[in-house]
Amino acid sequence: MSDPGLEPSRQDASGDPSDDHRWRVEGVEEDTKAERSWFAPMRRRTFWFVIGGLLLANWIIAGAMLADDHTRVPYTVFLEQVESANVAEVTSRGETIQGEFKTPVEFPPDSGGAAVGFATERPLFAGEDGLLDQLRSQGAEVNAEAVDPPAALWEIIVFSFGPTLLLVGLFILVFRKLGSGMGGMGGLGRSKAKRYEDSAEARVTFADVAGIDEAEGELSELVDFLREPEKYARLGGNIPRGVLLSGPPGTGKTLLARAVAGEADVPFFSSSASEFIEMVVGVGASRVRDLFNEAKKLAPAIIFIDELDAVGRARGSGGGLGGHDEREQTLNQILTEMDGFGGNEGVIVLAATNRPEILDSALLRPGRFDRQVVVNPPDQPGRKAILAIHTRGIPLADGVDLESVASATPGMVGADLRNLVNEAALTAARRGNDSVEHCDITGALEKIMLGVERHIVIDPAERERTAYHEAGHALLGMLQPGADPVRKISIIPRGRALGVTLSTPDADRYSHDTSYLLGRIKVMLGGRAAEELVYGSVTTGAANDIEVATALARNMVGRWGMSPAVGMVTALPPHGQESPFGNPNTSQATMELVDREVKRIIDECYAETLTLLTNERDRLEALTAALLDKETLDEIDAYAAVQIERNLTQPAESFDPSTN
């Protein structure tokens, strides 16, 4: 598996490395993009220049229109001019008086400028000063204006109808924007799926997929059918209507769909199932119809729906209100489009989900999803191939052995390995290296699995108790037949743990027998038993160990049929369907029996663990002393400290967290 974000740049089909094509949305032409990139900055500058010019012109015009040519003078100056019979006209509004002098008056004195128009304020305490009679006797024209004059017609129109017109215009603009080229309620019923075209520099192909060869082979046949349909049609074969990709997160389901898009020379529509759901009932079904209609116009075509369980959950599995009805309507429309009366010849549906067990059975029948491809975590050779893809653009030192790294990462999927490589590159850059060395990869693996080292001061007594705790885990792992070999022991605090014991199997395991599982439980309880044996008391440090051991014992009893008392009966709900109310198909008496059996297994394993540590007390003390001295022991040092021979079948750098 791979991700295009980690790949080096590759030439496109034309061989020109400078042609920077990417997956692009259909309908956006290259020359349009170039024109936009050239003219967009200039258009933005022109726009702001125009806006600035309009604001400046508005300020100048407003200033000119609102300019007042009346000189403000004190009331005493005004009275002096009245007494001098130099006032030709006055107009009052409230206590404000404006007018014109008969002859220009220089104010302020000695200012060098004379004004005819004047304005002043009449004090309230002026009282009856005979000003009106004096002005009339001198022949001055006296006018008055209302303090609150009626609004002009244009003001009435603007303030009465303006807000309403503005609101209506805003609604029209919004609906035009939303509904431009779209159907339904402003485009709500329009599919949000993206159409991609191959011809990209970062195009993903089957060459970028590794570790999941079986799934790749299934989809390679699908691509071949799209390229050469006549080869299959002459023998009466029909193209599959749908392919469901299922598997744990990070295994490469979406990557496979992108590889199909890169390999098949057909239109490819990609969407997430959650994008169909909207707050308006019926929108999801409308979007499904629109998506299939667009694909049928361009058939043959591929539709990819990611996280199908968002709408594909079994109908009737919840209440019938709100979003549940909308989800069921969307699911019904998908069922109809995939295999209804209308038919969708030439349209293939790819879907991905992490939870195939909760999907509606109507989705999984032949005629809809004809093929169900399980994408499993990769094995050791698969992990090596994935690492090779992810390290193509990363300079590796000569000492890096990808095979040993693949052996050290059982259970990791493609996304985990990609993160590991990225963390190793960041670690090498932080250390100032020119290339990624093996120690960078092992350091990144420890950081991902265990967390960053915590530089905290621990009390010597607590440090010693932690050493006994981790020595108990490790010693049980060394002594239990068939247990995973111990790879590393440390009492350096990491993450939330004060110490860790790491182990991995010599080879990938796909099934586990009863003795192996019981041995796992004993290893988990070894730390708690060592504390009780040495100190006669216990601490909270074994909380996670007890939780994991209890869950393992409960699965043995209620899911895997490993208890004679319960028998081969499934008492627990399937994975992913756990409920706080328990399994509705299991009686209370059966669940009580399961609880008793779980407690019996834990108690028996703990008693055997105490007995074994008591008999091997000397080795427990020796391993604890070595831990207190060195703080961290690798595989060779750990087995040497207790004088137990270990047949190394793989490098000592391989490790994985088992207990803490």
- CATH number for the domain spanning 433: value is 1.10.8.60
Domain containing residue 138: CATH number: 3.30.720.210
Among 121, 144, 167, the domain boundary falls at 144
Q: What percent of the chain has pLDDT over 70?
A: 78
Same domain flag for 426 and 471: no
Pair (204, 249) in one structural domain:
yes
What are phi and psi for residue 117, nearest 5 degrees? Answer: -80, 145
Domain that holds residue 446: 380-450
- Here the CATH number for the domain that contains residue 498 is 1.20.58.760
CA distances from 7 to 10, 241, 263, 380, 418 (A): 8, 32, 17, 22, 11
- State how far Cα 480 lies from the chain centre: 43
pLDDT tens digit string along 132-143?
777 777 778 888
CA–CA distance, 631 with 491 (Å, rounded to integer): 5
Q: Are residues 553 and 475 in the same domain?
A: yes
310 and 443 share a domain?
no
Say which of 307, 326, 423, 470 is annotated catalytic. 470
Q: For residues 614 and 475, what is the distance between their CA atoms, to the nearest angstrom? A: 12
Residue 169 placed within a domain: no
Summarize pLDDT for 482-538 with one digit per residue, the tens: 788 888 888 888 877 888 888 877 777 778 889 999 999 999 999 999 999 999 999
Position 629 in a domain: yes
Q: Is residue 602 part of a domain?
A: yes
464 and 478: one domain?
A: yes
In a domain, 511, yes or no: yes
To the query of whether residue 464 is one of the catalytic residues in this protein, the response is no
Please check whether residues 359 and 324 belong to one and the same domain.
yes
The answer to the question of residue 56 being in a domain is no
Q: 218 in a domain, yes or no?
A: yes
Element spanning 348, H or E? strand 347-353
> Would residue 221 count as lying in a domain?
yes
- Up-side HSE of residue 457: CA atoms within 13 Å toward CB? 0
Q: How many domains does the chain have?
A: 4
Same domain assignment for residues 230 and 276: yes
Checking if the pLDDT of 261 tops 70, the result is yes
Query: How far, in Å, are 226, 608, 628 from residue 598 at the CA level?
Result: 54, 16, 35
pLDDT digits (tens, 9 = 90+) for 339-387: 755 555 678 888 999 888 888 888 888 888 888 888 888 888 888 999 9
* Same domain as 495, residue 406: no
Q: What is the mean pLDDT of residues 377-403?
A: 88
Q: How confident is the model at residue 467, as a pLDDT? A: 92
End-of-domain residue from the set 404, 421, 450:
450
Do the Cβ atoms of 244 and 357 come closer than 8 Å? no
pTM higher than the cut 0.85: no
Q: What is the CATH number of the domain that holds 298?
A: 3.40.50.300
pLDDT of residue 183: 43
Cα 527 to chain centroid, rounded: 38
In a domain, 42, yes or no: no
Instruction: Mark which of 110, 144, 178 sits at the end of a domain.
Output: 144
498 and 561 housed in the same domain: yes
My answer on whether 446 and 550 are in the same domain is no
Q: Are residues 353 and 428 in the same domain?
A: no
pLDDT category, 38, cuts 50, 70, 90? very low
Residue partners of 352: CB distance under 8 A and separation at least 6: 244, 245, 246, 253, 254, 257, 304, 305, 306, 307, 308
469 and 555 within one domain:
yes
- Three-state secondary structure of 488-520: EEECCCECCECCEEEECCCCCCCCCCHHHHHHH
